[in-house]
Amino acid sequence: MSEQLTTVDTAKKLGILPEEFEKIKEKLGRVPNFTELCAYSGMWSEHCSYKNSIKWLKTLPKEGPHMLAKAGEENAGLVAIGDGLACCFKIESHNHPSAIEPYQGAATGVGGINRDIFTMGARPIAQLNSLRFGNIHSDRTKWIMKGVVKGIGNYGNSFGIPTVGGEVFFDDAFEQNPLVNAMSVGIVKEGQTISATSYGVGNPIYIVGSATGKDGIGGAAFASGDLSEDSAKDLPAVQVGDPFQEKLLLEASLEVIASGAVVGMQDMGAAGIICSTAEMSAKGEHGMKIYLDKVPTRQSGMQPYELLLSESQERMLVVVKKGQEAIIEKIFDKWDLPCANIGEVTAGELLKFSFNGEPVAELYAEHLVLGGGAPQYEREYKEPAYYAEAKKFDPDHIQQPKNYQEVAQFLISHPNIASKRWVYNQYDSMVGTINMSTNQPSDAAIVNLKDSEKALAVTVDCNSRYVQADPEIGTMIAVSEAARNIICSGGVPSAITNCLNFGNPYNPEAYWQFVGAIKGMSTACLKFATPVTGGNVSFYNQSKVGDKVVPVFPTPTIGMLGIVENKKHQTGLGFKNTGDKIYLVGKITNDIASSEYVYSYIGNKNTPAPYFNLDEEYELHQAIKNSIRKGLVISVHDVSDGGISIALLESSFVNNKGFSIATAKDLRKDAYLFGEGQGRAIISVSTSHAPELEKMFAASNTNCICIGEVTNGNILVDGENWGNIDDFETNYLTSIEEKLN
């Protein structure tokens, strides 16, 4: 090798621990050169190796009746959905890039997750996102939010895939470190997927798509460290996206897969060429010989390590069947995309990289990858002091409000509850004409499967405040709410993908939150038979401001896929007919813990997670599912943020109706109206179907109480006139826009 050998100090600068540097020398049988050490830096980063999480991730349930690819086997999860079709879906984070360059950080997150879908041969048909921002009144939050939303909208709209759902959450904990989680859903015929693998000695290796530049170099390592006041210096680590190029790449990729000339394909995301070559080779148990000087570049003078680690967007690595090169080249030429033969598959598992005829790196693929030679750790964890303190919360010490209507107006205007119209109006939700939720809003997005009686139900869910209060229960709630949203929309939960956003894994309290979340997710997923198909771990979501380290609320975002087995089962959340009966189903509790009411209106920031019982939740889901299938219900809406009052208002907004209800006399009125105890939903039914609904829920042993009826638009609570629904809807629709402008 012609390059200078490295030292432990060089390794430290690249984010490699001293003990890891020793392990690298042991595996190589020599001291690595700089290019080789850079390769290890990318591949052994937290972002690529999951070295501090993999042992716990292995405990998640991965078996299920619909599973076609287990977690970690492919770029994305794959489940059978019937009619010979499969659904490919995944969620990933782009948090750190979005913190320092919101527009490109978010845009390239959308691009990357879509590539994970179509590299498997699936056509993306729907996108969702889960966003966390700081205080909406701060200039920094406004800057980040506007950039992120514009980036998602511009990239997704130009790429031509509808954004059908998502969530937006605000808290001071995300002021410096926003969370930007993007999800993509695609469809493919069973048996027509392609794997991210490499085999067949002599098979040529192509890099296709955009030319390689210096954008994104070190992005994986950048995502594997804390944000600080100096993070802006890492701006070159943020990639630059081109959605129009990605659209061409999508069509060309699907065409070359259909040609039968492809052995394997993988997108170039984190750690770029080194990641794609290593992972494909390790999976196929072969090696590669790569000529880095043949990689098309858009900047002159790029060094070997830059070519290996660049995270330039809209690129793929394709292993082609020898003798069929002309087929591939013709297709990519048709789509006007660069397509360069940069190497070949070799026997053994050694990756050999050369530049201008000189060898620059020789590495064993297996040594580099997750599940192979990459390190695996289990970090120390301990319960934080705030957790025990929260358990001391006594709702009796909270004085009830004098004006309940005022509280309802406060909550409906709160940015965590108010309409996200300002956000979703920037997304194209109708391109492709597959969004069935536009004219009938529901708790989950319903995506049409053309030429099938079935549809997909998809959702992203996590209440970060609940997980902060109790990671295990909070994560069980996140899974349960996702399942509840799908059930309430007429679907049946099938599987999940997750995006695990946490603080520094070397912080025992942050790692305690992570471990608790994994335990809670496992328990809930087993209950609902929703195996984990894969996802993303994002640690180091904390930032240093002066001498203070500020972690985000732990946020294990759940992306859930459900199947609407017959489109007739699709159920909206909106009240439709004056005089229909309104039922509250599920257990009613005297609970206000971790509610938006207590947290934001009262100002108590440290309370336990809200009431939750997994068995009761499951029974509720079955009862709702059966009532939908029997055609008894007109609308179903789950009770979540803001409690019953907000669920009623949101159900009223859809068709400009109102409601007249009576609260329970034996409960605190604020708990009844604003508490966020889990496992509940609001159902509206015609008077004629009410007796049968009550009978069905009684048989399921699930609480079902008629609390009132739908009105023409007036709102009455215990006989008190709260005004007209229009008064609430105006505040609901305009609150976020007014705060941002």
- Classify 509 as helix, strand or coil: helix
d(CA 392, CA 36): 54
Q: What are the CA-CA distances from residue 384 to residues 387, 505, 513, 514, 683 (Å)?
A: 6, 14, 9, 12, 40
DSSP per residue, 167-225 = EEEE-GGGSSS-EEEEEEEEEEETT----S---STT-EEEEEESPB-STTTTHHHHTTS
d(CA 715, CA 734): 20
How does 184-207 read in b/e, with b if 16+ C-beta sit within 10 Å?
A: bbbbbeeeebbbbbbbbeebbbbb
d(CA 609, CA 289): 54
Q: Given the structure tokens 């042992």, which residue do they identify?
A: 55
Instruction: Answer yes or no: 47 catalytic.
Output: yes
CA dihedral 328, 278, 183, 92 (to 10 degrees): -160
Kind plus residue range of the DSSP H or E element containing 340: strand 339-346
Q: Is the dihedral of CA 211, 199, 195, 370 positive or negative?
A: negative
CA angle 317, 219, 231 (to 5 degrees): 165
Q: At 234, list the tokens.
A: 């890492």
Residue 346: what are its φ and ψ, rounded to 5°?
-125, 165
Judging by DSSP bridges, how do beta strands 492-501 and 532-538 pair with one another? parallel
d(CA 457, CA 495): 11
Cβ atoms of residues 637 and 571 within 8 Å: no
CA dihedral 94, 135, 387, 587 (to 10 degrees): -90
d(CA 35, CA 41): 10
Q: What is the DSSP letter of 267?
A: E
Among 94, 96, 414, 569, which one carries the catalytic annotation?
A: 94
d(CA 551, CA 547): 13
Judging by DSSP bridges, how do beta strands 287-291 and 350-355 pair with one another? parallel
CA angle 189, 195, 200 (to 5 degrees): 130
In 369-430, where does DSSP find H-type helix?
Answer: 385-390, 404-413, 421-424
Residue 697: what are its φ and ψ, rounded to 5°?
-70, -35
- Classify 507 as helix, strand or coil: coil
Judging by DSSP bridges, how do beta strands 67-69 and 581-586 pair with one another? unpaired
Q: At 55, list the tokens.
A: 């042992």
Number of Cα atoms under 13 Å in the Cβ half of residue 439 = 3
| Residue 54 CB coordination number (10 Å) | 18
Q: Given the structure tokens 């989950």, which residue do they identify?
A: 444
| Residue 483 CB coordination number (10 Å) | 31
Return all residues near 113 (Cβ < 8 A) that are at least 6 apart: 90, 91, 92, 127, 182, 183, 184
Catalytic residue ranges: 47, 94
